[in-house]
């Protein structure tokens, strides 16, 4: 009888840990990393940006790179709400913002300045 109760307890613990691991990253943890973002249909055509988000002391920090890997700007502000992050930065002398919404584990949908469709994909690190 004792073995049966131990097996049931073990099975319950196993199932509980599997359920916890199955949940995706939430909030800031989801957005930490490097994202390739394609800003579509700007007046100068499509633009490729790389958004790098890191964990700071109290919030997310980071920078935006252009398609050549040159830093365009440090992020001046980052706001996080549920499954959406908004990053604020300066580009070509203008203060702009990019909203990124969690789509799945490695993709975001987004909008630059609420005008330009900006889908993004997480840059995977080689292991």
CATH code (residue 47)? 2.40.128.120
Residue 98 CA to residue 110 CA, distance in Å, equals 7
The predicted pLDDT at position 70 comes to 94
CB neighbours of 93 closer than 8 A, spacing ≥ 6? Answer: none
The predicted pLDDT at position 79 comes to 96
**Residue 41 within a domain:** yes
Average pLDDT of 11-29?
A: 57
Structural domain for 118, as ranges: 27-122
Q: Please write the tens of the pLDDT for every residue from 66-120.
A: 999 999 999 999 999 989 999 999 998 999 999 999 999 999 999 999 999 999 9
Does residue 105 contact residue 121 with C-beta atoms inside 8 Å? no
Give the containing element (helix H, strand E) for 92: none
Structural domain count, the chain: 1
Residue 87 CA to residue 98 CA, distance in Å, equals 5
Please tell me the pTM assigned to this model: 0.78
- CB count within 10 Å of CB 28 equals 15
Look at residue 59 and give its three-state secondary structure: coil
**Residue 127 within a domain:** no
Q: Please write the tens of the pLDDT for every residue from 30-79.
A: 999 999 999 999 999 999 999 999 999 989 999 999 999 999 999 999 99
**Residue 85 within a domain:** yes
């Amino acid at each position: 009888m004792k073995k049966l109760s131990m097996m049931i307890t073990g099975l319950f613990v196993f199932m509980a840990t599997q359920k916890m691991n199955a949940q995706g990253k939430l909030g800031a943890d989801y957005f930490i990393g490097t994202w390739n973002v394609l800003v579509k249909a700007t007046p100068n055509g499509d633009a490729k940006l790389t958004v790098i988000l890191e964990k700071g002391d109290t919030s997310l920090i980071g920078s935006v790179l252009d398609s050549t890997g040159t830093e365009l700007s440090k992020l001046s502000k980052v706001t996080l709400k549920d499954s959406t992050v908004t990053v604020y930065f300066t580009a070509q002398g203008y203060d702009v913002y990019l909203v990124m919404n969690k789509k799945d584990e490695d993709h975001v949908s987004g909008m630059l300045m609420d005008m330009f469709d900006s889908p993004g994909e997480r840059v995977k690190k080689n292991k």
